[in-house]
Amino acid sequence: MRIRSRLLLLMSAVLVPALVVAGLGIGYLYNEEHAFNRTSMSETARAFALGLDNEMARRESMLRTLANSRSLERGDLATFYRFAAAVAQEEDSAIILSDLDGRQLLNTRIPHGAPLPRMLAVERENRARLGNEVTIVSDVYLPPANLGPHSFAIQVPVRGDGKVIGFLTMASFAAQMQKLLEAQPLPQGWHATILDSQGVVVARSLEPEKFVGTPVRPEFATKLKAHGEGFHEGTTLAGVPGTVFFSRAPRSKWVFLVTVPHTLLYGPALRTALFLGAGMLLLLALGALAALSAARRISRPVEALREAAERLGHNEHVEPGAFGTDELDSVSQAMAQASARLRGTTAELERRVADAVASFEHSQRALVQAQKLEALGRLTGGIAHDFNNVLQTLTAGLDTLARDAPEERRKLLARCQRAVARGTELARQLMAFGRVQELRAQTIDIGARLRDARTLFSGALPANVHLDYELEPALWPVTVDPTQLELALLNLVINARDAMPQGGRIVLAAKNEADGVLIRLSDDGEGMTEAVMARALEPFYTTKGVGKGSGMGLPQAYGFAQQHGGTLSLESRRGEGTTVKLFLPRARDAVVPERAAPPPHVAHGAGKVLLVEDDAEVRDTVAAALRAAGFEIHTASAADEALERLAAGELYEIVLTDVVMPGALNGVDLAREVKRRFPRIAVVIATGYSERAVQVPGVQALPKPYNLRDVVEALNSALRLQQQQL
């Protein structure tokens, strides 16, 4: 059911019973009023009827007095005439004396002695019907020619010697009754009529001249004959519909009527009913209008809410509406909130999906990048390692040659040495990237290290580039090769400098994070494009002009991070600067205090050395160089052979071995065996592969490629250590 129909029903449910009750109330009041009116009518009519009889009685008694007058007794008609004439004049009537036969003896309207007419035929008929003894009140009659208008008469018998001897009559014009009638007060609009016993009008409060002498309508006349009094509904002689109450006077038998026109009797009720009906209709119409407008006022917001709900279903934006109805407003509010939440949730969901996709893509890219770098690293490491061996041979050979070369060859040899040194440096960088570099890892206080290195970094910067430090206090210790760390950071600082040709600011920050130390190096320079950033970690990739950049800075830093179990990542955007994040895992052990600086360098030493090296060229050049430096050198080409000779009782102070060797044992195994079986002998392992540089207690490592100075130093320090321990 629609709201409109409901409201209309509700409105009718309230209004219709109210109107019915009002109608019943008015009906009740009307009935009361009607009953009251009828009572008043009957009472008035009865009172008037009695008044009429009183008048008749007065006249009768006046006639009786006259009838008993002395002059009449004496038969002195002349005296009686005078007396009667006086009364007649007073009453404005005629007094007539007649004998039993109906002859008039005296008539005050006719001079005494003049001839007199006979008693009226009606009177004679009445006497014949009713006898001589009674008083008779006549009906209305018209006197014979020109003796006047409608009249009526009262007649009493006259007695002489106890017998009726004649009749005394008082004849009056009906107009007298008219006066009597008009003297009676009647409510406004009511009228009264006096009828004679036959129902002929004697007097009438309205238009008497028209209706006096007229008989009432036959049906009413019949009713009058049948009942002494009662109501009658009908039409007046003048044709006006009305209600009549009639009451017959007991003595005269005349009838008194009180008439109230229907317009007066029913008019007010009718008007009230009409008014009520019209009011009812008006109220119903107004109620319907109000219901319709209320329905519209309710329907419109409901429709708006429906639309809002639809929008909510489509996850569109829903505005809170103001309908001016608290309940609807709160529903709308709730929907708007739900919409906001829903949209928020959707947006959040979309954001999360986008984040997840982005982070997936990012890690995918990172993985590809890592795999690429890994492959590159292996390749580079492999090549660099072999290349390093070649350089090792060259270095040792050149060193030896340079020792006793004649003056004119020295220059050439020095040039060769410089070229080999450059090659060695390059090989070192490649090995760093390939992570095949021997590490001199130690656990350090990285904060202190960074502070110490500040001078180094600042030295690489022009005046217009500022370097700011933001170091968290109490950074965890890390286990790194400090030189490699400084080199990596220096590479990053130089890159930052190069990115800010107009000058700028570099921030070096470090803090503890997750399970390590995060070092961030940021600049506000030109930044990198995606394409540059994707390749920046590759060795030899550079955007700097020929001779300006080798493309080995970032690869070194990256290799450094990887080799120490850490990570290196780039964040950059063209024009927005670059941040390089270097993460190093927290050290498991405590910081080792810095060793005292090594004693001043002596490029010579002494001692009996067993050199174990499979590469004959390397073996020979190194042996020659060491002999030149003062050592007593014996050689073996494999670990197994070396061990056999030791077992056979050859005495050495020190064993210098390479790692990779043919045979059952490698250099590390040999070192372990020597340490186990011949603890008095010092061991030095020369290695290019840090991965294979297994820490053997009491064994010194010597990173390859080494020059004569490095190896002499290593041998000397191993001997010193050995002597201290013994």
Strands 654-658 and 608-612: parallel
**Measured from the CB of residue 548, what is the shortest distance to ligand ATP in angstroms?**
7
Place of tokens 């009754």: 177
Nearer to ligand ATP, 243 or 437 (CB): 437
Task: Decide: is 495 part of the binding site for Mg ion (CB under 5 A).
Answer: yes
Task: Decide: is 553 part of the binding site for Mg ion (CB under 5 A).
Answer: yes
Nearer to Mg ion, 127 or 428 (CB): 428
Select from 55, 61, 51, 58 the least CA-distant residue to 168: 61
Nearer to ligand ATP, 30 or 540 (CB): 540
**Measured from the CB of residue 422, what is the shortest distance to Mg ion in angstroms?**
17
Query: Which helix or strand (DSSP H or E) is residue 91 part of?
Result: helix 77-91
Nearer to Mg ion, 388 or 495 (CB): 495
**Measured from the CB of residue 463, what is the shortest distance to Mg ion in angstroms?**
21
Q: Which stretch binds Mg ion (CB under 5 A): 35-43, 65-73, 491-499, 660-668?
A: 491-499
Q: Which does 578 bind (CB under 5 to 8 A by kind): ligand ATP, Mg ion, none?
A: ligand ATP
CA distances from 485 to 439, 478, 699 (A): 11, 11, 24
**Measured from the CB of residue 691, what is the shortest distance to ligand ATP in angstroms?**
23
Written in H, E and C, the secondary structure of 107-134 is: ECCCCCCCCCCECCHHHHHHHHHHCCCC
- Binding pattern to Mg ion, positions 439-478, x when CB under 5 A? ----------------------------------------
**Measured from the CB of residue 523, what is the shortest distance to Mg ion in angstroms?**
12
Nearer to ligand ATP, 417 or 550 (CB): 550
Q: Which does 477 bind (CB under 5 to 8 A by kind): ligand ATP, Mg ion, none?
A: none
**Measured from the CB of residue 366, what is the shortest distance to Mg ion in angstroms?**
21
Q: Which stretch binds Mg ion (CB under 5 A): 128-136, 138-146, 300-308, 494-502?
A: 494-502
User: Is there a contact between 703 and 424 (Cβ–Cβ < 8 Å)?
Assistant: no
Nearer to ligand ATP, 182 or 470 (CB): 470
Spatial separation of the C-alpha atoms in residues 492 and 507, rounded to whole Å: 11
Task: Decide: is 716 part of the binding site for Mg ion (CB under 5 A).
Answer: no
Nearer to ligand ATP, 167 or 433 (CB): 433
Q: Which stretch binds Mg ion (CB under 5 A): 166-174, 201-209, 261-269, 551-559?
A: 551-559
DSSP 600-661: PP-S----EEEEE-S-HHHHHHHHHHHHHTT-EEEEESSHHHHHHHHHTT---SEEEEES--
- Binding pattern to Mg ion, positions 232-271, x when CB under 5 A? ----------------------------------------
User: Is there a contact between 389 and 705 (Cβ–Cβ < 8 Å)?
Assistant: yes
**Measured from the CB of residue 461, what is the shortest distance to ligand ATP in angstroms?**
13
Place of tokens 């270095």: 395
User: Is there a contact between 685 and 612 (Cβ–Cβ < 8 Å)?
Assistant: no
**Measured from the CB of residue 556, what is the shortest distance to Mg ion in angstroms?**
9
Please report, as ranges, the residues that interact with ligand ATP according to CB under 6 A: 491, 495-496, 499, 523, 525-528, 532, 536, 541-544, 549-555, 578
3-state secondary structure at position 483: helix
**Measured from the CB of residue 549, what is the shortest distance to Mg ion in angstroms?**
6
Task: Decide: is 98 part of the binding site for Mg ion (CB under 5 A).
Answer: no
Nearer to ligand ATP, 423 or 663 (CB): 423
H helix runs in 507-577, sequence order: 530-535, 553-563
Nearer to ligand ATP, 445 or 538 (CB): 538
Strands 682-687 and 654-658: parallel
Spatial separation of the C-alpha atoms in residues 683 and 659, rounded to whole Å: 12
Query: Which helix or strand (DSSP H or E) is residue 490 part of?
Result: helix 482-499
Spatial separation of the C-alpha atoms in residues 539 and 615, rounded to whole Å: 29
Q: Which two tokens stand for residue 607?
A: 């001692």
Residues that bind Mg ion (CB under 5 A): 495, 553
